[in-house]
Amino acid sequence: MGMYIINGGNRLEGELRIEGSKNAVLPILAASIINGKNSIIHNVPYLKDVNTLVSMLESIGCKYSFVGNTVIVDSTGDLDINIPEKPVREMRSSIILMGAMLGRFKKVKISFPGGCEIGLRPIDLHLSGLRLLGAKIVESHGYIICECDKLYGNEIHLDYPSVGATENIMLAAVSAEGVTTIQNAAREPEIVDLQDFLNKMGAKITGAGSSTIRIQGVTSFHDVEHTVIPDRIVAGTYAVAAAITGGKVVIRDIIPEHIKPIISKLGESGCKIYRYDKDISISCSRRPNAVDIIKTMPYPGFPTDMQAQMMALMCTARGTSIFIETIFENRYKHAEELIKMGANIKIEGRAAIVKGVNKLMGAHVFSRDLRGGAALVLAGLAAEGTTIVDNVDLHIERGYENLDIKLKNLGADITKEK
């Protein structure tokens, strides 16, 4: 599955550019089904998950081509409404194809999704929202079959501001007759980026970024060209990399507003952060201070996708930090691997108590999920001796483009082996 071998202790210095957002580009790629025409998408990160999704698009009848970090998707003609089972079971975000296919073809058959083992993550909010638009849904033998004669706009109130449910409803509702209103919608920047992409192809959506999204259904769409927003989680990960190594790094081509909760906690830990129009500079010349409480929340709160990386940093801090994970019930698998490196962590339900230690020690650790794997890499950068992070192909490379190369360019001693 591939491994990173890291000799810790090097201070990171330099600058890097942040790639396009994984969590934005995947629903945008799914949305390219809707127009039945050409979609030109720029700033696409080179990731395992992106390759998986474009291969799925190809398997149902789309054509695609890559030119550097631009992908062109041609979704003309009839597509197969049967979504391949294997990639759906491997990558949870592929469930986003359901809303797009239902919106265009009024029928789709897809298996229940899999992905990182960080919690149950049920899709009942997706299904109840699509039912309110008029879809008839049958769940049988591990498959979901959605179909309708026509979709109709409706008022949908989400019990929880689920990103995936918000996106699936948006993708179906753009083709529905009448107006759809999503109340308690997810507010993440990736939702805004999806709205912008859909509107460029002819949809009529307003309100993304707020808790109420309004969608006026339309009957036709056209070609579209769009540039994906930068990845706020990748930016946050490199910011923590600078902090945990006592380094100084300039992170370019980002939207600083999107990482305010991360910047805030890093500031509390003693980092010096300078914010510019599309860049930030972060430096940490001494051992970080503990942050009293880090509680994950839906945007604009502290992102669950940064919990593991911040935990790695707090393992080296002065004092005790408490983490409260409110999004996923099983997102502390990285903790037992950090403990192998000398961290002092106690898990109590959804809370983790982290007492900082003077130094971490290199060890052979295993990535259990995408962000937890990134946290182990960060810990390895700061640890004394050699750290081996296993399973990088399976998890880490799903969400980070050339992580080892970019860290090496900043001064890290890191190599990848098969």
Residue 146: active-site member: no
Which parts of 69-140 are beta strand (E)?
Answer: 70-74, 107-111, 136-140
Measured in residues, the chain has a length of 418
**Directed axis angle between helix 189-200 and helix 163-173, to 10°?**
10
3-19+230-417 against 22-227: fold identical: yes
Distance separating alpha carbons of residues 379 and 360, to the nearest angstrom: 7
- Determine how β-strand 280-283 pairs with β-strand 272-275: antiparallel
43 within 8 A of 66, measured Cβ to Cβ = no
CA 359 to chain centre: 30
- The CA-based angle 11-15-19, given to 5 degrees, is 120
* CATH architecture for the domain at 3-19+230-417: Alpha-beta prism (3.65)
Q: Which of 35-44, 80-89, 106-115, 248-257 is predicted with the least confidence, judged by mean pLDDT? A: 106-115
- Is residue 310 within 8 A of residue 265, CB to CB? The reply is yes
Q: Which residues pair with 318 in a beta bridge?
A: 289
Dist. CA 388–CA 368, nearest whole Å: 14
Structural domain boundaries in the chain: 3-19+230-417, 22-227
- Strand 3-7 to strand 413-417: parallel, antiparallel, or no bridges (unpaired)? antiparallel
Q: Is 290 helix (H, G, I), strand (E, B) or coil?
A: coil
Radius of gyration of the chain (CA): 21
Amino acid of residue 384 = E
Q: Kindly name the residue from 116, 146, 148, 284 that is annotated as catalytic.
A: 116
Provide the β-strand partners of residue 364: 388
The answer to whether residue 7 scores a pLDDT higher than 60 is: yes
**120 confidence band (pLDDT: 50, 70, 90):** very low
Share of the chain above pLDDT 70, in %: 98
By the 10 Å C-beta count (0-12 exposed, 13-18 middle, 19+ buried), 27 is classed as buried
Cα–Cα dist 35/393, whole Å: 33
**Angstrom distance (rounded) from CA 371 to CA 232:** 13
Residue 142: per-residue pLDDT = 83
Q: What does the mean pLDDT of the chain come to?
A: 95
3-state class of 179 per DSSP? strand
Instruction: Give the pTM.
Output: 0.96
- Asked whether the beta carbons of 345 and 390 are under 8 A apart, the reply is no
pLDDT of res. 205 = 98
Q: Are 317 and 289 in contact (CB under 8 A)?
A: yes
- Dist. CA 41–CA 224, nearest whole Å: 8
Q: Name residues whose C-beta falls within 8 Å of residue 377's C-beta, 6 or more positions apart in sequence.
A: 4, 6, 389, 396, 403, 407, 414
Q: Is the peptide bond before 27 cis (omega within 30 degrees of 0)?
A: no
User: Residue 35 in contact with residue 222, Cβ under 8 Å?
Assistant: yes
The burial class, CB within 10 Å (0-12 / 13-18 / 19+), for 131 is middle
Q: Are residues 189 and 166 in contact, defined by beta-carbon separation less than 8 angstroms?
A: no
Superfamily of domain 22-227: Enolpyruvate transferase domain (3.65.10.10)
Separation between Cα atoms, residue 84 and residue 363, nearest integer Å: 39
Amino acid at site 281: S
pLDDT tens-digit series, residues 287-338: 999 999 999 999 999 999 999 999 999 999 999 999 999 998 778 999 999 9
Q: What is the pLDDT of residues 164-213, one digit of tens each?
A: 999 999 999 999 999 999 999 999 999 999 999 999 999 999 999 999 99
**What SS3 class is residue 346?**
strand
